[in-house]
Structure 1
Amino acid sequence: MTRKLKFRLLLGSVFGLLLSIIALYFFLYQSHRDIASENSAFETSVNELSQRFINNPDSSIATYANQTISIYGNVTALDLKQNSIILDDKLIALLTKEEIKKVKNGDLVKVKGRFIGYDELFEELRMDQCIVEQ
């Protein structure tokens, strides 16, 4: 190989490596979702959603996973250390410190957040990044 060809191959390899590093950086450090500003994909009650998961968990997980949903129910427990509330003994919702101050035990509330999963063993629904709408 000639010297000129070696230089072009080296320059192309460095350029390709640099592009790969930049693409990987932007893939790993994407901007975070702002759940509070998103519109809810679904609006339902805790009991209704729980019943859907009991009847057909696979279909429900595919439908609701990682979706922004609004859900309403009665506050049955507060955990100020974990910044979480439990609605109707079936949904665990993680709130911020400011949001948890808005609710009391026994309140009927509507929260909006990201649905993250369903625990079949305990029959619990889980949401995070929640805000209190009512």
Structure 2
Amino acid sequence: MRKKILITISLFLITGIAIYRYSYKNHRDIESETADYVVTVYGLEKEFTSNDSIATRKYQDKTVELTARVTTIDLETKSIVIGEKIFASFKDSLPKGIAIGKELKIKGRFLGYDELLQEFKIDQSSVSHSNK
């Protein structure tokens, strides 16, 4: 009887520790990660047009880096659109110096393709390098 109680308590304890560690694991720091993929807007469109389920599995939750011109800025949502197809949201605030028409190199976590808006979604974005 005592052995069963000890085993039960041990199992609850191990399960509790596992759930705690899973729930409170460290969050990713996308800005310091090396990009898994360096892609272009055209390249993403081509892969998603060819086979969207394979492309989604390939890029989903991966760190991607893209270079394109800023086409839209939304200060309220701390987001921009680059290359007319990439919706990039920033965690805290928009980096200084972002302007429509400026070419930026954006790195962020790829979320997926929004068929309704026909945009690729990236969050936790950072500007890794800017030109012009």
Same fold (TM over 0.5): yes
**Any unmatched runs of 5+ in structure 2?**
none
3-state secondary structure, aligned to 2:87: strand
Larger gyration radius, structure 1 or structure 2: 1
Which of the pair is proportionally richer in helix? 1
2-structure distance, mates of 1:77, 1:71: 16
% same residue: 33
8 Å CA contact retained: 1:95, 1:130: yes
**6-15 vs 82-91, greater mean Cα deviation:** 6-15
Note if 1:100 corresponds to 2:107. Answer: no
8 Å CA contact retained: 2:79, 2:94: no
- 1:1-134 to structure 2, matched below 5 A, reads 6-134=1-129
Equivalence for 1:3 = none
2-structure distance, mates of 1:38, 1:99: 19
Task: Compute the displacement of 1:83 (Å).
Answer: 0.5
TM-score, with length taken from structure 1:
0.88
TM-score, with length taken from structure 2:
0.89
**Any unmatched runs of 5+ in structure 1?**
1-5
1-structure distance, mates of 2:89, 2:70: 13
3-state secondary structure, aligned to 2:16: helix
* Shift >6 Å, 4+ stretches: none
Task: Compute the displacement of 1:98 (Å).
Answer: 4.2
Task: Compute the displacement of 1:95 (Å).
Answer: 1.1
- One-letter amino acid matched to 2:7: G
8 Å CA contact retained: 2:62, 2:109: yes
2-structure distance, mates of 1:8, 1:95: 54
